[in-house]
Chains A and B, each alone.
Chain A
Amino acid sequence: MDELLKILKNNALESAENIAKMLNISVDEVRERIAAYEKEGIIRGYQAIVNEDVLKMQGVTAVIEVRVSPEREGGFNDIADRISMFPEVQSIYLVSGDFDLLLFVVGNDLREVAFFVSEKLATIDGVNGTATHFMLKTYKHHGVLMESQESYERLKVSP
C-alpha cells in the first residue's frame, strides 16, 4: 500500500504539511493525491474511532451469522447488497466457513435487534438461517486498543 494511505489509515487527521515532511514531497502533491484517492473512491471516508463503552450509551450491537442460498445470476452479491440497504446494518462481509455473511447490526435495545432479525432479515428470500451474538465489550477496534495498557517505561536517555 502507498505510504500516504498508510499514514492516513493510521491517523486520518495528519495534516498535509506533516505528511509532506514525512514523505519528502510538496504539500500540494499531498493534497492532490488525497483528492485523487477520494475521487477514485479508494478513500471512502474519515471516521473517529470512539470507545462507546465509556460513553455508557444506550444501544446494542449484534454480530449475526447468516446462511444464504446464492442466487443463480447474482451469487452472494445481490442478497448482500439487499441486506446492506438496512440502516441498522453497520458492516457486512462475505466469509468462508459454516455460514456465508457476517453482519454487524446496531439497535437501541435487544428487542429492536431481535425484531430486525426475525421480521426483516430472516424473511428475505434466500436467507436460510441466522445466529445472533450480542456484543458485550470491545477490546480492540480497527487495530486500536480500547483501553490503554500501561507501557513499560524506557530509559529517557541511552547510548
Chain B
Amino acid sequence: MNDSKSLPDRLASNLQAVPRSGIRDFFEVVSSMDDVISLGIGEPDFDAPWHIREASIFALERGATSYTSNLGLLKLRQAIAKYVGRVFGLRYAPETEILIAVGVSEALDLAIRAVCNPGDEIMYHEPCYVSYGPLIQFAHGVPVAVPTSVENEFRLTRAALEERVSPKTKALLLNYPNNPTGAALTPADAREIADFLIEHDLLLITDEIYGELSYERPHQSIAALPGMRERTIFLHGFSKAWAMTGYRVGYACAPQVLTDAMMKIHQYTMLCAPILSQEAALEALKEPEEDIASMKSAYLQRRNFLLNSFKEMGLSCFMPTGAFYAFPEITQTGLTAKEFALRLLEEEKVACVPGTAFGPSGEGFVRCSYATSLDAIKIAVERMARFLARL
C-alpha cells in the first residue's frame, strides 16, 4: 500500500496559491515562431555602453573574482549615495543604509520579507510588474491590488488607496514611472500618496527603476518628500537606464534598521551581488548623464512615432510619460487582451503582451514596448494597422 502524498501536494501552500506567470505562457508561443517582430520586450534593445563593458573586462583581468562585503563594494555604495543625492535629492549613508542586490528583483523580495508578517496586507497599484503579488505571497503576506485606470492615466490616487486600506495594511508598493503602462506620477500625486502613508503610518517600498526615463519632467522621487525617509525603502538599479539588465545589479536604500533587516536575508541567501557587476555599476556612475541621454532621446523619438502611429490606425492610447512602454486600449476591437495579443501574433507576427499579464485591471489593454529598434517599430505598426483594418 502506498499512501505517500503526491509531489504537488508536498509543495508549500503559499507557493501553490501563486498562479503561473501570464507572460511565461505567452513567451512559449512566441518562442516557437520565426520572424516575429516583438514589442513584448521589457528590457532595452541597446547593449550596455562600451566603457561599462570594458570596465568589467578590466576588473576580470585584475582578478575581481572574489566575494565582496555583504552590503556590496563600499566604493559603489559611496558612488550610489552621491548619485541618488544629486539626481533624486535623497540622503543615505553608504556605510549603513545602502545594500547592493542582484537586481531590483532581489531588492524587492528583501524589502517585502524584511517587513511582512504572516497576514500583513501589502497594497500595490495594478496593472503592475508581474512579481509584486507573488513576492508578497511568498512572504506569507496578503497582496492587496489597488486598480488604476486609464481615466487617471494609470496614476494612483489617494481615493483608491483609501478604499482598500485596512487595519492590517503594512505597506504600499509603488512603481512609477510604471511598467507596464508608462504612467508617471505628478508631484501633486506623489504628495497626496505621501500624506496618505504618513496619516495611516504605513511603510513605502518604492521601485523607481525607470526614474531616469521620465520624458515630460524630471522624475521626482516620493522618497524625497518630507516625512517619507523614515518609512521608505527606495529601490533602484542599473538595468533600465544603463541597459545593464543582464548584469543583475540593483540596490535598496533605507534607514539602517530596515537595511539591517534586509541584510539578514541577503547575506544568507545571496551573500553578495556578483563583483564584476558591481565593478561595472561603479563605472556606470562615472558619467551617467552621457550614457543615459542618447538612449533616452532614442526612446522619446520612438515613443512619439509609436503614439502617432496608434493615432493613425485609430488605436486610443494615453500618452505615457515614462519608462519605455505604451499601453493602448483595444476594447473597441471586441477582443480580450489575450485574444488580441494572440491573434496579432498568429496573423501578423507582432508580439505584444496582454495587459492582463499585469493584473486583471490590465484587461482591455496591451503593453507595447518601444525598447526596440525604430526599424522594427515601423514594421510592427504597419502590421498592426493591417490587422486592425481587417478586424
Contacts and interface: CB of A to CB of B under 8 A. Distances in A.
Interface of A: 3, 6-7, 18, 20-24, 151-152, 154-159
Contacts, number: 61
A9 to B, nearest CB: 12
Contacts of B301: 3, 7, 22-23
A145 to B, nearest CB: 13
B38 A157 contact: yes
A98 B274 CA distance: 45
Interface in B284-299: 297
B41 A156 contact: yes
B353 A157 contact: yes
A85 to B, nearest CB: 38
A154 B372 CA distance: 11
B39 to A, nearest CB: 9
B26 interface: yes
A24 B308 contact: yes
Nearest to B39: A157
Contacts of A6: 297
Given A157-B26, A158-B23, A21 B297 contact: no
Contact of A157 (B47, B131, B297, B351): B351
Interface in B32-64: 36, 38, 40-43, 45, 47
Contact of B305 (A18, A156, A157, A159): A18
B42 A21 contact: no
The 4 tightest CB contacts between A and B, nearest first, are A157-B40, A21-B308, A22-B301, A157-B27
B338 interface: no
A124 to B, nearest CB: 41
Contacts of A24: 304, 308
B43 A23 contact: no
19 contacts: A3-B297, A3-B301, A18-B378, A22-B374, A23-B301, A24-B304, A154-B45, A155-B41, A155-B43, A156-B27, A156-B40, A157-B38, A157-B40, A158-B27, A158-B40, A158-B42, A159-B21, A159-B129, A159-B179
Given A3-B301, A22-B304, A158 B309 contact: no
Interface in B302-343: 302, 304-305, 308-309
Contacts of A20: 308
A155 B42 CA distance: 9
Given A22-B304, A155-B43, 17 more contacts: A7-B301, A21-B309, A156-B351, A157-B23, A157-B26, A157-B27, A157-B31, A157-B41, A157-B353, A158-B23, A158-B40, A158-B41, A158-B43, A159-B21, A159-B42, A159-B129, A159-B131
B26 A23 contact: no
A6 B297 CA distance: 10
B130 interface: yes
Contacts of A155: 27, 41, 43
B30 A22 contact: no
A155 B40 CA distance: 9
The winner among A3, A23, A24, A151 for most chain B CB atoms within 10 A is A24
A123 to B, nearest CB: 44
A159 B362 CA distance: 14
